Structure formats: structure tokens, C-alpha cells
Amino acid sequence: MDALTDDTPVLEIRGLHKSYGDLEVIKGVDITAKRGDVVSLIGSSGSGKSTLLRCCNLLEDSQQGEILFKGEPISWRGTGASRIPADPKQVLRIRTNLSMVFQQFNLWSHMTILQNVMEAPLTVLKRDRAEVEASARKYLDQVGIGDKCDNFPAQLSGGQQQRAAIARALCMEPQALLFDEPTSALDPELEQEVVKVIKDLASEGRTMLIVTHDMRMAADVSDHVVFLHKGLVEEEGCPDEIFGNTRSERLRAFLSSTRQAQ
């Protein structure tokens, strides 16, 4: 990985706006993640959490605001609804350094688990095959499914598939990991397998942005928690402040509803 000074954020979002036609989903959001920070985004469905994460990784184009990766701003051309990234090479470089783990795993069904984990480093980064295979096996061991290398995704449980997806993200050797509701498609028992892996990654000091419905995980692993409400940051702070000293009535109501749903 490239050298990064401690005070340079890995990822910084300033005044971000995102609309779909007339529907404004994100209405001017600021978020900063420094090296080793775990930032959790919480909020009701439709609050803009997943959209914000996809804008960070340039899977969605935002209409206004800045996105900086390690202090380097994304170059844009056009304005408003016509705004798109100006430099495809910059997009590829940044996207490969911000590995995303999706809610629905997104593994290739026709490839073995080992092939799934190796594919992007080989085709996108053009790394040496032997080096990539050694790395892939290491990360599959780390997430606890090293014995599943030759299996296909359909032969694994949901929790095992999500752990394979995490190993795939790690194999890109990214500067940060982006998790989009990584446990919401899993039943409670399998969910805990994935939560354990995420906690282990947090303890390693990895930089992570996590969109999650799991308030316990957010409280346990986060350095900073951001509560989004209707496309705006309603409240943010350390877990003790967010969960133990809530200021916003909206956040208080949200946390109450999540407790009742458990």
C-alpha cells in the first residue's frame, strides 16, 4: 500500500448531493475516514446510506460536492445531472483501493471460491498468478473458509459466501473496505460468523465504512457512527455518544424501533 500520513483522510466527503431525477437522496453530507477508522452509517431504509457508499466508490455519480481519496479530489466534468468523472484511469485506481462488499455477495457462480477471490487481482491489477493465489488462500484462511477453496458458491452457506466476498475484497489489498449491509441477507446464526470477521478486521486497524442495520456491531467496532435521516447527517459521534447519550429525538426514535424489532 502507498504511504499515507496519519492526518490525511483515506476518504473524505464534502457537501455531497445525489439525486435520481427530482428525488434528492443525499442533501449535502460530510464524512471523513482517516487511516484505521471504522465509520458506521446507520439510519432507516431510504435515508441514503447505501447510495452514499456507492457514491464513495464511484458506482454512482453525485451531482455536487467533493470526494477525496488520500487528499486527491475526484476530477469531474459537467455539472448537476450531467456531472461525470473526468478521468477513467483515476476512477479505476480509486475503485480498486476502496474494495466493496455487497449485501448479496455477488460471487460468480461458475467459478470456484478460490477463482472468485483471485479474479480481480489477476485481471484488474495484472498481478502475478502465484502471488495472487498465495494471497487468496491466506485471506480465505483468515476468514475461516480455507477448506472451501475448490467449492462453488452454491455449495456454501450464505455466511460462508459473504466471508468469501470479504476475502475477495481483501485480496485487492485496498486502502479501505466499504461494507453495504454485509449481514442483512443472513439469518442470525450466520450473521454472527460475518460479524466476527468484521470485528477481527477492525482490530487489525483496517479503514472501513460500514452501512449496517446491526446496532450492536456498530457499537462494538466503530470509532465513529453517523446517523443519516432523509439524506442528511442528523447526528454523529463516537458509539458511547450515539448509543448512550443520544441528543436527537429522531435518533432516539430510530434506536427505539430497532430494539423493538430485535
* DSSP letter string, 149-218: TTS-GGGS-HHHHHHHHHHHHHTT--SEEEEESTTTTS-HHHHHHHHHHHHHHHHTT--EEEE-S-HHHH
For the chain, what is the domain count? 1
Domain-embedded: residue 158 = no
Domain-embedded: residue 155 = no
Q: Write out the residue range of the structural domain in which residue 190 sits.
A: 11-103+175-261
- Dump pLDDT digits (tens) for 103-161: 989 999 999 999 999 999 999 999 999 999 999 999 999 999 999 999 999 999 999 99
Residue 32 exposed, middle or buried by CB count within 10 Å (0-12, 13-18, 19+): middle
Q: Which residues contact 181 (CB under 8 A, 6 or more apart)?
A: 50, 103, 211, 212, 213
Domain-embedded: residue 142 = no
Domain-embedded: residue 114 = no
Report pLDDT for 259: 77
Say whether pLDDT at 232 is over 70. yes
Domain-embedded: residue 154 = no
Instruction: Name the pTM for this structure.
Output: 0.93
Coil, helix or strand for 80? Answer: helix
Amino acid, single-letter form, for residue 175? Q
- Spatial contact of 242 and 220, defined as CB atoms under 8 Å apart: no
Report pLDDT for 3: 47
Say whether pLDDT at 15 is over 50. yes
Report pLDDT for 189: 86
Domain-embedded: residue 234 = yes
Least Cα distance to 108 among 150, 143, 154 occurs for 154
- Dump pLDDT digits (tens) for 28-52: 999 999 999 999 999 999 999 999 9
Report pLDDT for 63: 97
Say whether pLDDT at 185 is over 90. no
Domain-embedded: residue 77 = yes
- Spatial contact of 219 and 258, defined as CB atoms under 8 Å apart: no
CATH of the domain at 59: 3.40.50.300
State how far the Cα of 216 lies from the Cα of 237, in Å rounded to an integer. 16
Domain-embedded: residue 157 = no
| Side-by-side strand order, sheet with 72-73 | 23-33, 11-20, 64-69, 72-73
Strand partners, 98: 176
